[in-house]
Amino acid sequence: MNQNFPPLVIGIDLGTTNSSVAVAQDGKLTVIPVNGQLTMPSVVGIDPTGKLVVGQAAKNQAISAPENTVLSIKRLMGTDATAELVGKSYRPEEISALILGELKRAAEAHLGRSVTQAVITVPAFFNERQRLATQDAGSLAGLEVLRIINEPTAAALAYGAGQSDTSENETLLVYDLGGGTFDVSVVRVENGIVEVRASHGDIHLGGDDFDEALTNLGEERLREKHADSLPAAAHRRLKSAMEIAKIHLSDEPFATVREEYLTPASHLETEISRYDYEQLIDPWLVKTLDCVQRTIADAGITAHQLDKIMLVGGATRTPAVQELLMRTLDMEPRHEINPDLVVAMGAAIQGATLAGQPTPAILVDISAHTYSVLAVVGHDFMGRILGCCPVVRRGTPLPVTKADLFTTQVDFQEKVEVQVYQGESDDPSENLSIGEFMVTGLSDVPAGNEIIVQFHIDLNGLLTATATEKRTGLAKSVTIDTAGQHRINLDAARTNLAALFEEQDAAFSEDDEEAEDEDDEFTSEYDGESVDLSAPENEGPANSSALLASAKSLRNRAGKLLDQGVPETDAAAIHTSLAAIPVAIDARDWNQLRTILDTLSDLLFYLED
Ligand code: ADP
Ligand code: MG
């Protein structure tokens, strides 16, 4: 062991369903992969060869060998209960220690050093005994647990609460819906101190219930064709397929489940719609809202006094959860940090603070706006009311792919126009229209023909909208540069431009005394040919004037080099680029122009050297 390593304290989210480990070093936060995944199932088992397996491998065998597999041990922490594994019994602390040991090993392998100290999170409702049990599990795994912190506190820390330089006081609601448990807390941040004011929950409510409900639905549908019900093993297999379908339904309006030979005679192939799924889980969601109301009341505040809502736990990826909270509390919940990882990240931040390391900030790329589709949302005496129906909401981490279902309004409608809007309002007149396209040749069917509209937004803010007629698969798509619409990007372009001119000034001020170079102001002209910059809709004028300015300056530099004389092949390359510039400008093809200028700039840079 190397004594020269600086102190390092890892952060661990020891979850009922999944666990994860993160570390903050030199102001940088990393979630450490375990067997290639950022979360590890909190499952321990003995495989058929007698080998101990932890994590995904253990989860995989839970279907075929439930008696050799331990799940959800966290529910037993702080009790005298034991878990059985191949005829031997283990205390919850011991099973938890196996999970923690696996995370510790992954951290050591990733960091290339030994790790001996950790911060571990627990639910706010954990009592003293449960906390001590968690601490003991840590020791058993060879970890000194420097601190046990509450999961909602960790989530708040990850979202930047309580950072020493902010004196902002805030009241946060942390809504955590995991695999097997739900809890909600009101967290108060005051003078940099983060404190849980009230917390409620249900230790038997989570994504697992949703999987079970879907499995029962699948069995019901199966019984319509095959009389008998499923044996336990087939039920477990179906449930695991249903979990995948459920996750799919968070991003798509439909999921297909195909499981062959559930019994020697029964095959299931069924489609589940997001709508049906949402109906199915509604009673549980309503139950979570009761908890939310009670927690707010217990904290001695009203919903209006909440400053932020944070989503934690994998199951909060369900759109219905986000929508329900938004409707009830009239505030958009924050979900830009991965809800499965936010607790481990917060634990790592606490760990860094204890290790005397700088507090890292979490940076995520998120969608700065809501993107919606114009659709009929109701009727009044004037006729149809059109509104913007969000497909991707503001604050969603990028890249993202999300789809929603729309239906035709008229019998035998043979085309639909998809109009894409950017903005937070339901009212299209308050949003920005950023693109539209037509899907023609729809089937000759009555109103209600299902059209799936999918948005994909990449890291550069390019939105690809695709509309597909569900019954035929007929599809049409367009790509829209949303970055061109962002005010923030115009600002960035201006800054860019200022930097370009500074750079230009610094490089050329002495030897450019000729009148030719009078570009002390941004000019929208390229050498006498006036260019109308207002015409192209999706390229900000600032962007194109920057390009034109740089075209002009590169042209001057190229002229000088050609005068001085350069090798023939280079001269030819320069002439090719110079000739291409006016063509691109004429076509207002700014992307093409940018490419040409980049090439030319590289060439000049190399020749001027
Ligand atoms: P825990 O805190 O209990 O360990 P997690 O926060 O890891 O649990 O949440 C696990 C649950 O989240 C599982 O039921 C899983 O199926 C569900 N889940 C994960 N991703 C999604 C998703 N994209 N949509 C809906 N549910 C999801
Ligand atoms: Mg959790």
DSSP one-letter string for 263-320: ETTEEEEEEEEHHHHHHHHHHHHHHHHHHHHHHHHHTT--GGG--EEEEESGGGGSHH
Distances 446 to 24, 214, 412, 414 between C-alpha atoms, Å: 58, 30, 5, 10
Per DSSP, 431 falls in state S
Q: Which protein residue's CA is at the shortest distance from atom 26 of ligand 1? A: 315
What is the CB-side half-sphere exposure of residue 92 using CA atoms within 13 A? 20
CA pair distance 26, 8, nearest whole angstrom: 10
Rounded Cα distance between 87 and 66, Å, is 13
User: 399: cis peptide before it, omega within 30°?
Assistant: yes
**List of residues 6+ apart from 405 with CB closer than 8 A:** 253, 254, 273, 274, 275, 450, 451, 452, 453, 470
Residue 332 clears pLDDT 80, i.e. is over it: yes
307 is a catalytic site residue: no
pLDDT of residue 504: 63
Q: How far is the CA of 237 from the centre of ligand 1 (A)?
A: 18
**165 tagged catalytic:** no
Residue nearest to atom 10 of ligand 1 (CA): 179
Which residue of 73, 184, 318, 340 sits with most ligand 1 atoms within 8 Å of its CB, as the best mutation to test the pocket? 340
How close is the Cα of 177 to the center of ligand 1, in Å? 8
Q: How far, in Å, is the centroid of ligand 1 from the Cα of 532? A: 52
151 catalytic residue (yes or no):
yes
* The two structure tokens encoding residue 138: 């840590």
How far is ligand 2, taken at its centre, from the CA of residue 122, in Å? Answer: 9
Task: Kindly state if the Cβ of 333 falls inside 6 Å of ligand 1.
Answer: no
- The single-letter DSSP state of residue 498 is H
Distance CA 556, CA 412 (A): 61
Query: What is the rounded distance in angstroms from the CA atom of residue 15 to the CA atom of residue 464?
Result: 36
Q: pLDDT by residue (tens digit) across 229-277?
A: 788 889 999 999 999 999 999 999 999 999 988 888 888 999 999 999 9
- Shortest-distance Cα residue to atom 22 of ligand 1: 247
* Separation between Cα atoms, residue 344 and residue 178, nearest integer Å: 14
Name the token pair of 22. 């993160």
246 CB near ligand 1 (under 6 Å): yes
Position 38 pLDDT exceeds 60: yes
Q: Kindly list the distances between the CA atom of residue 575 and the CA atoms of 24, 495, 547, 549, 580, in Å, as whole numbers in the listed order.
A: 51, 31, 19, 19, 9
Task: Give the whole-angstrom CA distance, residue 265 versus residue 267.
Answer: 7
Full-model pTM: 0.72
Weakest mean pLDDT among 298-307, 446-455, 579-588: 579-588
d(CA 124, CA 150): 5
**What separation in Å is there between the alpha carbon of 287 and the centre of ligand 2?**
18
CA distance 326 to 322: 6
Q: Is 208 in the pocket of ligand 1 (CB under 6 A)?
A: yes
At 459 the three-state DSSP class reads: coil
Distance CA 130, CA 143 (A): 17
Q: Which ligand is nearest to the CA of 124?
A: 2
Q: Is 266 in the pocket of ligand 1 (CB under 6 A)?
A: no
* Three-state secondary-structure class, residue 560: helix
**Which ligand 1 atom is nearest residue 251's CA?**
23
How does pLDDT run across 271-329, given as a tens digit for each residue? 999 999 999 999 999 999 999 999 999 999 999 999 999 999 999 999 999 999 999 99
Q: Which atom of ligand 1 is nearest to the CA of 243?
A: 16
User: Is 74 tagged catalytic?
Assistant: yes
CB-based contact 267:261 (threshold 8 Å): yes
Structure tokens at 333: 């919940």
| Ligand nearest to the backbone CA of 99 | 1
Residue 521 has pLDDT above 60, yes or no: no
Mean per-residue pLDDT of the chain: 85
Which atom number of ligand 1 is nearest to the Cα of residue 151? Answer: 2
Q: Is 340 touching ligand 1 by the criterion CB < 6 Å?
A: yes
* pLDDT at residue 3, as a whole number: 53
CA distance 121 to 14: 6
Residues present in the chain in total: 609
In angstroms, rounded to a whole number, what is the distance separating the alpha carbons of residues 43 and 62? 8
Rounded mean pLDDT of 222-227?
81
Please tell me if the CB atom of residue 466 comes closer than 6 angstroms to any atom of ligand 1. Answer: no
Residue 50's pLDDT band (cuts 50, 70, 90): confident
CA 219 / ligand 2 centre spacing (Å): 29
- The burial class, CB within 10 Å (0-12 / 13-18 / 19+), for 602 is exposed
Choose among 433, 307, 352, 302: nearest CA to 147.
352
Helix axes 568-586, 590-608, angle to 10 degrees: 160
Nearest CA to ligand 1 atom 18: 314
Ligand 1 atom closest to residue 181's alpha carbon, by position in its atom list: 3
Sorting pLDDT into bands at 50, 70 and 90, what band is 510?
low
The arithmetic mean of pLDDT across residues 341-355, rounded, is: 94
Q: What are the tens digits of pLDDT across the range 376-413? A: 888 888 788 899 999 999 878 778 999 999 999 999 99
What pLDDT shows up at residue 532?
A: 39
Q: Which atom of ligand 1 is nearest to the CA of 207?
A: 14
196 CB neighbour count, 10 Å cutoff:
21
Q: Which residue has the tokens 């903050």?
A: 24
| The one catalytic residue among 102, 176, 404, 539 | 176
Measured from the CB, is residue 181 less than 6 Å from ligand 1?
Answer: yes
Q: Are 386 and 428 in contact (CB under 8 A)?
A: yes
Secondary structure (DSSP) of 577-604: HHHHHHHHHHTT-HHHHHHHHHHHHHHH
Neighbours of 88 (CB within 10 A): 9
Contact (CB, 8 A) for 314 and 179: yes
Q: How far is residue 255's CA from residue 276's CA, in Å, rounded to a whole number?
A: 11
CA of 176 to the centre of ligand 1 (A): 10
pLDDT band at residue 363, thresholds of 50, 70 and 90?
low
Ligand closest to 338 (CA) is 1
Which residue of the set 136, 151, 202, 259 is catalytic? 151
Phi, psi of 170, rounded to the nearest 5 degrees = -140, 155
